Amino acid sequence: SQKIEQNSEALNIQEGKTATLTCNYTNYSPAYLQWYRQDPGRGPVFLLLIRENEKEKRKERLKVTFDTTLKQSLFHITASQPADSATYLCALPLWSGNTPLVFGKGTRLSVIA
C-alpha cells in the first residue's frame, strides 16, 4: 500500500515570500494527487488536483508540481499572506484502481506578518 511523507511538520515563513511544501510517496506511482487545506478544528477543504500526466497545475497564487521520477509533489504558495496559515495535506490513492485516499500527516504553515 501507499505511504506518504510530508517532510515538515511545521513551516514558518515571512509574509510575501513563497512557501514550498513537500509530499513524498514511497510505493507505486499514483494516477493523481490531491492537496487539501485544513484550518484548526475544521474539516479539510480541497484545493488542487494534479494527474500523473501533468507536470504542473496552477490556481491563483497556488501551484502544484508532480514528479513521478522523484515520487514527489511540491505545493507552492506565492506572495504568502497571514490568511494562508493553516495545515496542508496531500492525499493519494491507496493503490491503483478504485480505492480510498490515504492522507499525509500534513504540514502546518505559519505566515508571519
Partner 1 sequence: EAQVTQNPRYLITVTGKKLTVTCSQNMNHEYMSWYRQDPGLGLRQIYYSMNVEVTDKGDVPEGYKVSRKEKRNFPLILESPSPNQTSLYFCASSLGYPSGANVLTFGAGSRLTVL
Q: Cα–Cα distance between 61 and 47 in angstroms, integer? A: 11
Q: Please tell me whether residue 89 binds partner 1 under the rule CB under 8 A.
A: yes
51 touching partner 1, by CB under 8 A: yes
Distance CA 85, CA 102 (A): 23
DSSP 104: -
How far is residue 31's CA from residue 29's CA, in Å, rounded to a whole number? 7
The cell numbers describing 84, all together, are 494562508
- The nearest distance, CB 73 to partner 1, in angstroms, is 14
Instruction: Categorise residue 60: left if φ over 0, alpha if ψ from -120 to 50, beta otherwise.
Output: left
> What would the x/- binding string for partner 1 be over residues 3 to 42, using CB under 8 A?
----------------------------xx-x-x----xx
Kindly tell me which residue out of 2, 23, 44, 80 binds partner 1, with binding defined by CB under 8 A.
44
Cβ closest to partner 1, residue 7 vs residue 18: 7
d(CA 15, CA 105) in angstroms, rounded, equals 24
Of 12-20, 58-66, 77-85, 100-108, which part binds partner 1 (CB under 8 A)? 100-108
Binding residues for partner 1, rule: CB under 8 A, are 31-32, 34, 36, 41-46, 49, 51, 89, 91, 93, 98-106
